[in-house]
Chain A
Amino acid sequence: ETGVTQSPTHLIKTRGQQVTLRCSSQSGHNTVSWYQQALGQGPQFIFQYYREEENGRGNFPPRFSGLQFPNYSSELNVNALLLGDSALYLCASSSAGVTGELFFGEGSRLTVL
Chain B
Amino acid sequence: AQKVTQAQTEISVVEKEDVTLDCVYETRDTTYYLFWYKQPPSGELVFLIRRNSFDEQNEISGRYSWNFQKSTSSFNFTITASQVVDSAVYFCALLITGTASKLTFGTGTRLQVTL
Q: Is the CB of B47 within 8 A of A103?
A: yes
B64 touches A (CB below 8 Å): no
A8 touches B (CB below 8 Å): no
- A41 and B105 CA atoms in complex are apart in Å by 9
Give the interface size bracket for A toward B. Answer: 20 to 34
Q: Is the CB of B33 within 8 A of A42?
A: no
Main secondary structure of the interface of A (DSSP, over half): strand
For residue A52, give the distance in angstroms from its CB to the closest CB of chain B.
15
Q: Is the CB of B45 within 8 A of A56?
A: no
Q: With A40-B107, A106-B44 as given contacts, are A48 and B102 in contact (CB-CB < 8 Å)?
A: yes
Q: Is the CB of B107 within 8 A of A41?
A: yes
Residue of A nearest to B9 (CB): A40
For residue B100, give the distance in angstroms from its CB to the closest CB of chain A.
3
Which listed residue, A55, A88, A90, A101, touches B100 by the CB 8 Å rule? A55
Q: Is the CB of A104 within 8 A of B45?
A: yes
Q: With A56-B100, A105-B44, A106-B44 as given contacts, are A42 and B95 in contact (CB-CB < 8 Å)?
A: no
Which listed residue, A43, A58, A99, A109, touches B45 by the CB 8 Å rule? A43
Interface centre among A31, A88, A101 (most CB of B within 10 A): A101
B62 touches A (CB below 8 Å): no
Total contacts A-B at CB 8 Å: 71
For residue A56, give the distance in angstroms from its CB to the closest CB of chain B.
3
- A42 and B102 CA atoms in complex are apart in Å by 13
Residues of chain A contacted by B108 (CB below 8 angstroms): 40-42
Residues of chain B contacted by A24 (CB below 8 angstroms): none
Q: Is the CB of A56 within 8 A of B101?
A: yes
- A35 and B104 CA atoms in complex are apart in Å by 10
Q: What mask results when residues 80 to 115 of chain B are scored 1 for a CB within 8 Å of chain A, else 0?
A: 000000000001010101011111111110000000
Residue of A nearest to B4 (CB): A42
Can you list 18 A-B pairs with a CB-CB distance of less than 8 A? A40-B108, A41-B107, A42-B107, A43-B45, A48-B100, A56-B99, A56-B100, A88-B43, A92-B45, A94-B101, A100-B33, A101-B50, A102-B101, A102-B103, A104-B44, A104-B46, A105-B44, A107-B44
